[in-house]
Every structure is written in structure tokens, then in C-alpha cells.
Amino acid sequence: MSIRKVVKYGEPSLRETSKEVHKVSQKIKNLVADLLDTMYAQNGVGLAAPQIGENYRVFVIDVSTGDEPLNPMVFINPKIIKKSGAVISHEGCLSFPEAFTDVKRYANVMVKALDRHGRSFVLEAKDGTLLARAIQHEFDHLDGILFIDHVINRFEAEEVLKKCNLPSIELDKILDEPKLSEEIDILLKEKTEKND
């Protein structure tokens, strides 16, 4: 279809909650095609509708690498129905050009959604794989949550944003995730002990 402009961090639309899709109409199919075209043009792993200024509960992901054939996955009205474990994820976002920082994620997720034909499916992604992390990252976009809201080291992230000429972290948006933080602390402690 067409390559769309990716909305940058600081645009209010990235903080809005997206609307449910009531029918997988031609409009939604065109939106999916635009999301895929834009994601591939930007060498992205995932892209959510709010990132191209469309506040619908739709995102796309493709975690294929190297010589693997493209494997586009479409998620319409996704719901995360199970999550467990913890992982430190080094993430970036097409709405944050060149900015990468460590964030907290669940290691395992199960998601239920509709595909591009309106058929329901359930997908499980485990062990902190790129797919597991990408599902959470793109799902967050639908609720106006950004990857920096899960930041591990706020000061480090601030430096990265400053270097990339992006707005500062919105402190009131940083998520309080006690269970996840607890598991991340254990991971960090194990990592430190291993390096000693």
C-alpha cells in the first residue's frame, strides 16, 4: 500500500489509548498493509497503528532475521492473557530514532488476537525471545505506554534521549511494576555475582 510517516516521541497521539476494531474492514486491511510497508521500509521489528497516527488496536511484527523469509504477523484487538518471568530487554523504537535503553519485560507472554482476516488466534512467546518482547512493546503502544515507561536506569535513559534530541522521560508515566522489578533485581544480582 504505502509507507507512512512514523510519529516521533513527544507527539500527543503516542500517549492516547487506541480504539477497538469492530470489523476487519477494507480500511483496517489497508492500515495493516501500510503498517507492514512502513515497518519494512524502516527495518523495524514491529509497528503499532498509533505510531503512524492511527489510534486503532492493531500492530504488526516480523522477527525474521538474515536470510529467513519474511514472516509478517498481524495482531488486531490483542489481549495479553498470561505473562510470567522477567527479562532485561535492550530496546529501541521507531518513534525514538537511534535511542536504545534497558527496560523491564516479562519473559513469557500469551496473546490472543485477530489476524488480518478477522480470525481469532492465540500465540505464546517464551524465554524472553525477541517475539515475546516485541509483543509487549507493541501492545503497550495501544494503551499509550512507551518502552521508556519500563526503564531500569532512568538517568542512563535520560542521557540517551538527550543525545538523540528527544524530549525527557515523563516521570509520571514511569510504571510501578513491583513484581517485575523484584524479579529484575534478582537477575541483576545473579549477573553481578557471575561477573565477580
142 Cβ partners below 8 Å, 6+ apart?
Answer: 17, 18, 48, 49, 50, 57, 58, 59, 78
Compute φ and ψ for 96, nearest 5 degrees.
-130, 70
Of the options 1.10.510.10, 3.90.45.10, 3.30.365.10, 3.40.50.1000, the CATH number for the domain spanning 12-195: 3.90.45.10
31 and 39 in contact (C-beta within 8 Å)? no
**pLDDT computed for residue 188 by the predictor:** 83
Give the HSE-up count for residue 72: Cα atoms under 13 Å, Cβ half-sphere. 17
Q: What is the pLDDT of residues 57-67, one digit of tens each?
A: 999 999 998 88
pLDDT at 1 over 80: no
User: Which residue type occupies 167?
Assistant: P
pTM surpassing 0.85? yes
The per-residue pLDDT for 102 is: 95
State the Cα–Cα distance between residues 174 and 43, nearest whole angstrom. Answer: 27
Residue in the structure block whose three cell numbers are 561477573:
195
Residue 194 is predicted with a pLDDT of 82
Does position 174 have pLDDT exceeding 90, yes or no?
yes
pLDDT on residue 124: 98
Which of 138, 159, 177, 183 is flagged as catalytic?
Answer: 138
C-alpha dihedral over 76, 77, 80, 86, to 10 degrees?
Answer: 60
* Segment among 50-54, 58-62, 108-112, 179-183 with least mean pLDDT: 179-183
Q: Are 77 and 21 in contact (CB under 8 A)?
A: yes
How high is the pLDDT of residue 122? Answer: 98
Nearest CA to 56 out of 72, 71, 68, 74 is that of: 74
Under 8 Å CB-to-CB from 183, ≥6 apart: which residues?
85, 86
Instruction: Supply 110's cell numbers.
Output: 500469551
Q: What is the pLDDT of residues 114-167, one digit of tens each?
A: 999 999 999 999 999 999 999 999 999 999 999 999 999 999 999 999 999 999
How far, in Å, CA of 37 to CA of 42, rounded?
9
Cα separation, 191 vs 196, in Å, equals: 9
Specify whether 177 is catalytic: no
Q: Output the CA torsion sign for 111, 177, 55, 5.
A: negative
* DSSP annotation of 173: G
Read off the pLDDT of each residue in 33-41 and give the average, rounded to a whole number: 97
Grid coordinates representing 77 are 484487538
